[in-house]
Structure 1
Amino acid sequence: MMERGMVEIFKGIADPRVGNAKKHKLEEILTIAILAVISGCTQFTEMELFGKERETWLRGFLSLENGIPSHDTFGDVFSAIKPEELRTGFMEWVETVRQKITDEVVAVDGKTICASKSVAENKKAVHVVSAWAAENGLVLGEIATDEKSNEITAIPKLLKLLELKDCIVTIDAMGTQREIAKTICEAQADYVLSVKENQPGLYEDITLYFSTEQEQCEYAKTAEKSHGRYETRECYVTTQIDWLAHKENWPGLSGIGVIRSCTQVVGKEACETMVHYVIFSKESMSAAELLKTKRAHWSIENSLHWVLDVDFGEDSMRMRAGYAAENMNIMRHLALNLLKSETSYRGSINLKRKKCMLSPAYLLKVFDCS
């Protein structure tokens, strides 16, 4: 089954090398790299070390005609591969394991890889916009830009790469743009978009409405206590928006909502409050469903960004040559997806990676989980 999985997908990636640089097969370099990343390796030197320590085991399914690639070879390959090539292979694999779930929340959000910035080379940090399928627990796709402000142009490109039919796409305020709403509707999906001051007219109308009319709206509330924190969320929604100025300019717009959260930390008197205003396209969206949808959106921080920073050490990775930062981001996303897709062991991502490092049999199971 492995030969029909990741190795086969890696074979379809265009090799940027020429001549004697092709000493090692590209699919074998990529296979060793992803196995190393799954097992906790972060640098090209560690990939070489992993390969040499596991060489006998690797020869069970790789030819390794010229032995284990050097760390320079790993670096050169990841600097040269076009990210579009690796991204296509990544998304091909995702679609083989993704379960189609009606109304699944797909959260879209950006994250900067801090260590990819180089002042000496006048190179900006790579900013990656990712799509996270909350219920599947998978990164569906990602696209890189060189500035956070470029999210507005990157998001439509990413959305057009994804299968979004019957999903609910959630995006923070930067992505609350008419063209993005249109792209989502054209994909036969719904949206929940945050509204802040970057859409001043819309923001003013919605905030004024909920400050005077919220008691006439549908209402839902949740309360949760976890890790010494007690949090309540109250939500009001309405689909009666004929009064909303320029409503017709927002494709598919069906309603507006507000979520007010209050977080109380045990031992502290002060309560941290936050207010989130949104627009949505789903005609039947209830207050309870909006609460659930926004909670799923926020999972991208804890289940993706936090894991990449803490478990994978993403922000400390100083890979700046060529496309290395972008390509290694894709490999980390792939490693995370593979680890999440293997469910026989119920440990955390960190424990799963340690288990992969200690157990070649389990590592192979994770790698071949499709």
Structure 2
Amino acid sequence: MDYDAAPSHDTFSRLLRLLDPEAFGRAFAAFAVAFVRAGQETPEVVSLDGKALRRAYEKGLAASPPLTVSGFAAETRLCLAAVSPSDGENEVEAALKVIEPIDLTGRLITADALHCHPRMAEAITQRGGDYLLALKGNRRHWLRRANLRLADATPSIAERTETSHGRNEWRQAEIVAAAEPLMPGHQAFIRITSRRDQAKPLMRLFMASTLLSPQQALDLTRAHWQIENGLHWMLDVHLDEDLSRAARTMLPPTQPSSIGSPETSCKPPTLPTFPSATALRNAPGMTTTSSMPSLIRMTSTSALSAHVLNSPGTDDHVAKSDA
């Protein structure tokens, strides 16, 4: 590409503001699924997690910044879908919408304890997927039953010791079949115990819709954190998403009803008049206080642009960190 003749920053800005983010998101999700399927031989882990755009809040609403929930393919490092909650919705509702456009057949969905509930389990299993969901105190009765089952039964166990990033880590997986399902598709309880260097051991519990081997459990529970390292960290550190002050960047959507109508079909099309960058920044409802960084940038996360277009902060790229 001849970078001296490439479209300018403002050209990309105007183009992206005129796109319908929902339509683009659906189209990109279809492409992403086909892309993953083309090179996939083993079940893919799709991690669900939400991320707040810390500085893109409306005036007086610093405690409630915009939120985006993403579905991230851990192995291919591809963001398959991203949804921002509508008015009156929360991260739970947005996560259910994230998995709607994704083909879940043969996939394992991982998520934190917020999404360990019957609606999520049913949405995944009805569409041919499996789940591995964290279990914590927000489901205290299920947590108690999981601990009792692990204490009474003889679990399958596997251990692993790793040295990485200057620290030694020991991890152990214990798996038992559930005596009875606690939500749709539930088949097993998993306990992961880990210890870094000389720190106290940390125990985490999970509910799974398939009876995994202990070795698989060690791999799959670790794979969930790719969404933090491979997506959120990239968005924040490389693209400065958390520094973005763009709260609303979309122009009013184009009305397709007038395109190709009898009144206009015989007339030459009227080319749209694009506002200048200054006019866009000063338009009502715009709250951007910093200049927009370059919108086109190649990174190791394949579908970063789709995530940007589906995020409230289209104008200022996207980011967060490690687990």
State the distance in 1 between where 2:9 and 2:168 align.
51
Q: Which runs of 5+ in 1 are unaligned?
A: 1-34, 36-52, 59-67, 265-269, 341-370
CA gap 1:70/1:138 in 2 versus in 1, 3 angstroms:
closer
Question: What residue number does 2:317 align with?
Answer: none
Tell me, yes or no, if the aligned pair for 1:125 and 1:146 is still in contact at 8 Å: no
Q: Does residue 213 of the first structure (1) align with residue 152 of the second (2)?
A: yes
State the distance in 1 between where 2:162 and 2:82 align.
32
Q: Does residue 253 of the first structure (1) align with residue 186 of the second (2)?
A: yes
State the distance in 1 between where 2:303 and 2:86 align.
28
> What do residues 210-237 of structure 1 show as CA deviations (whole Å, max 9, x unaligned)?
3x336x2100111111121111111100
State the distance in 2 between where 1:180 and 1:135 align.
22
Tell me, yes or no, if the aligned pair for 1:142 and 1:158 is still in contact at 8 Å: yes
1:309 to 236, 247, 261: 236
State the distance in 2 between where 1:172 and 1:263 align.
21
Question: If the length of structure 2 is used for normalisation, what is the TM-score?
Answer: 0.71
2:55 to 107, 111, 115: 115
State the distance in 1 between where 2:300 and 2:74 align.
14
Identity %: 26
Question: If the length of structure 1 is used for normalisation, what is the TM-score?
Answer: 0.63
Letter in 2 for 1:213: D
Counting only pairs closer than 5 Å after superposition, residues 232-247 of structure 1 correspond to structure 2 as 232-239=170-177, 241-242=178-179, 244=180, 247=181
Q: CA deviation at 1:294?
A: 0.4
State the distance in 2 between where 1:224 and 1:148 align.
44
Q: Does residue 279 of the first structure (1) align with residue 207 of the second (2)?
A: yes
Secondary structure class of the residue paired with 2:138: coil
Tell me, yes or no, if the aligned pair for 1:110 and 1:148 is still in contact at 8 Å: no
Letter in 2 for 1:177: H
Q: CA deviation at 1:209?
A: 3.3
Letter in 1 for 2:84: A
Tell me, yes or no, if the aligned pair for 1:79 and 1:321 is still in contact at 8 Å: no
CA RMSD of aligned residues (A): 3.1
Tell me, yes or no, if the aligned pair for 2:115 and 2:133 is still in contact at 8 Å: yes
State the distance in 1 between where 2:47 and 2:224 align.
5
Q: Which has the higher helix share?
A: 1
Greater relative contact order, per chain length (Cα 8 Å cut-off, separation 6+): 2
CA gap 1:122/1:137 in 2 versus in 1, 3 angstroms:
closer
State the distance in 2 between where 1:336 and 1:222 align.
29
State the distance in 2 between where 1:257 and 1:251 align.
17
Tell me, yes or no, if the aligned pair for 1:107 and 1:300 is still in contact at 8 Å: yes
State the distance in 1 between where 2:135 and 2:56 align.
31
Tell me, yes or no, if the aligned pair for 2:188 and 2:209 is still in contact at 8 Å: yes
Q: Report how many residues are paired.
A: 261
State the distance in 2 between where 1:195 and 1:320 align.
34
CA gap 1:158/1:145 in 2 versus in 1, 3 angstroms:
same
Q: CA deviation at 1:336?
A: 4.9
